Chain A
Amino acid sequence: MPYAGIDVGSLTAQAVLIEDGRTLMLKTIGVRLLSKSIRVKPNPLDSARTVMGQLLEEYDLGWDDITYCVSTGYGRDKVQGEGMAQDNVSEISCHGLGAFTLAPQVRTVIDIGGQDAKVIRVDERGDLVNFVMNDKCAAGTGRFLEVMSRTLGVSFEDLGGVALRARNKVELSSRCSIFAETEVLHYLQKGYDVADLAAGTCRSMADRVMALVRRVGWEKEVMMTGGVAKNVAVKSELERTLGVRMFAPHLDPQLMGAYGAAVFAQRAGGAL
């Protein structure tokens, strides 16, 4: 009988089922909006129902087959309130425990999602020791990269790869998403290379995240999670500044919240 985690975030929703401590089944649905679209607010309950429903169907399971479910992400209390989960845990704890479970050496987790960035410190049990989250500002979050990739005419997914081709990385002076976009537009008009600007964008992002890392401190066993962990340039800039090679999760880093929630479900259900 599997344990479940549902993560309904600001841009995407994920569901994870695990059994006997190993990842059994994963499902993610993209409610990510293309940058050209108008942003809408999806109902978190619909997202949870859809993502978990599809996952269960795929593996020929029903809701009743789930032993224990924990919800996380912005929609966590609503999902629990509707009876789809027995408990809800913050995404901060979930990312911490998820990363720790995959690599028990990990003590610091850098999670950069669509609308926020967090640095999480965990202990030798994977429990939260301390954390810091960005203030209400898009700079230093996935949203910043989304805006900048649109300005540069590069897909969000390709931005990191393009940045690695840079020969003369452009130093961006502004840390604000809006002003950084204006600055990049100015450079584009002057004929600067897109790769150099993409590298500058990723560097700027890493600088912003480093401010959070410095605030809460870090131990060298670091893992990066969240959608931005897929951006190779941001990851490498952070590794360079931290002077460490980060642990690579054997799991899509975007699924870490839901995975951590499922591990919490296992703990609550007495399996761990």
Chain B
Amino acid sequence: MDVASVKVGSAMDAVNKVSEVVENDYVKKWKESGGKVLGYACVTTPPEIIDAAGILPYRIRALGNPNTEIADAHLARFNCSFCRSCLQLGLDGTYDFLDGFIETNGCDHLRGMFENWMYVKPADFFHYVKVPHLTTEDAMNYYVEELVFFKEAIEKHFGVEITDDKLKAAIARQEAIRDRLRQIYSMREGSSPSFTGAEALSLFLLASAVPYDDFIELADKAIAERTGTGVTGYRARLMLCGAATDELDLVRAIEDVGALVVTDALCYGARAFWSPVSTEGDLVKSLADTYLKDMLCPRMYEDFPRRRDFVLNEIKKADVDGVMVMHNKFCDVHGVDNVQLRLDLEKRDIPVLQLEKEYGSRADIGRIRTRVQAFLERIGGKS
């Protein structure tokens, strides 16, 4: 792929620099000025509630960390390697800047990660949001109640009151963040994509790792810098689907062999920002609608048709040539969902490359490159 046509400037370089470290300079500055930071991992956690309390919501990531030796003493080798990599960083001190965590039952591996983390290194604040697997009226009422408990737990522990006005302002801030991400994704979907897939992931990671003002400033600069530019010379336009991944190196490796990732349906990606939060009526109910009813995650077993339709719509919107569905070894929910997705896409003559991989395993990159290159040769010609 010829990226020479893309203007390489300071804004995107600055974004990459921040996104490639866990405790970035913006977080350090926030902490130095007395700010609190709460970590969460699951896409069912509304950061608005944390933000409304004046606390920085930080989405836990492992950034491709391949080491799990401390974590392996607590989580078995047959647990998801993404969760083990995050736990490793929790236990080796990388996440010591966090003032607490919000756990969900997104999946059992994730719960294992949080609970072992708390067991070994208890935090001052730890709250478990129990998220239903259905979106029936009862389930939605249950989830609304859970979000109220979550709000009250933060209020009680940090001695703040989260008023409706504060929550409304936080929703507006998070909506502005999501809006930038929607803009960035839209700029990839056209005939002349302005961001590579790795750059879009980098911007996504930035959005949940720095304070609001800093993100808006950096994102707006990156958007301005890339407006009117386009990546050329790629062999095929790919969509990424599947399990949680924040591996910048993996997306770079995929693009290095000539693919351009133009869209995705990833947990650390498109699933987190397309659905807006309404500020009409009951605010907590609005959050529940966005974070559970509209959520796209295979943990909601019955919801497969909606997930598939989202993928089909993105394929059309972003003029996708082929789809890569990936999951980390031992990720049961995506392991099952990906097979169904592959079969459904193949039925519609959409080329699919299905990969099972070890999270953060650099040793596997060569094999992944071979498969991606062959996939491109299949769908996009030999060169």
Contact = CB atoms under 8 A, between A and B. Distances in A.
28 contacts: A74-B370, A89-B377, A89-B382, A90-B370, A90-B374, A90-B377, A92-B371, A92-B374, A93-B382, A116-B367, A127-B378, A128-B374, A128-B377, A128-B378, A129-B378, A131-B371, A131-B378, A133-B367, A133-B370, A133-B371, A135-B329, A136-B358, A136-B361, A136-B363, A136-B367, A264-B382, A268-B382, A268-B383
Contacts of B377: 89-90, 92-93, 128
Interface of A: 74, 87, 89-93, 116, 127-131, 133, 135-136, 264, 267-268
Nearest to A88: B373
Given A128-B378, A135-B356, A92 B367 contact: no
Interface in B353-368: 356-358, 361, 363-364, 366-367
B127 to A, nearest CB: 37
Contact of B383 (A87, A128, A129): A87
Q: What 3 A-B pairs are tightest by C-beta distance, nearest first?
A: A92-B374, A90-B374, A128-B378
**Chain B contact surface mostly:** helix
Nearest to B356: A135
Given A89-B377, A90-B373, A93-B378, 7 more contacts: A87-B382, A93-B374, A116-B367, A136-B358, A136-B364, A264-B382, A268-B382
Most chain A beta-carbon contacts within 10 A, residue among B357, B364, B367: B367
Contact of B370 (A87, A92, A127, A128): A92
B30 to A, nearest CB: 39
Nearest to A127: B378
B155 to A, nearest CB: 47
Interface in B334-381: 356-358, 361, 363-364, 366-367, 370-371, 373-374, 377-378
A143 to B, nearest CB: 13
Size band of the interface chain B makes with A: 10 to 19
B378 A74 contact: no
A98 to B, nearest CB: 14
A113 to B, nearest CB: 11
Contacts of A136: 357-358, 361, 363-364, 367
Nearest to B361: A136
B360 to A, nearest CB: 13
Contacts of B382: 87, 89, 93, 264, 267-268
A175 to B, nearest CB: 15
Contacts of B363: 136
Contact of B366 (A74, A89, A92, A93): A74
A226 to B, nearest CB: 14
A211 B83 CA distance: 29
A225 to B, nearest CB: 15
A89 B383 CA distance: 8
A92 B375 CA distance: 9
Contacts of B357: 136
Contacts of A89: 373, 377, 382
A131 B370 contact: no
A116 B370 CA distance: 11
B209 to A, nearest CB: 30
Contacts of B383: 87, 268
B325 to A, nearest CB: 13
Most chain B beta-carbon contacts within 10 A, residue among A127, A128, A129, A268: A128
B345 to A, nearest CB: 13
B58 to A, nearest CB: 32
Contacts of B374: 90, 92-93, 128, 131
Nearest to A128: B378
Nearest to B257: A77
A91 B366 CA distance: 12
A129 B329 CA distance: 26
Contacts of A92: 370-371, 374, 377
B235 to A, nearest CB: 12
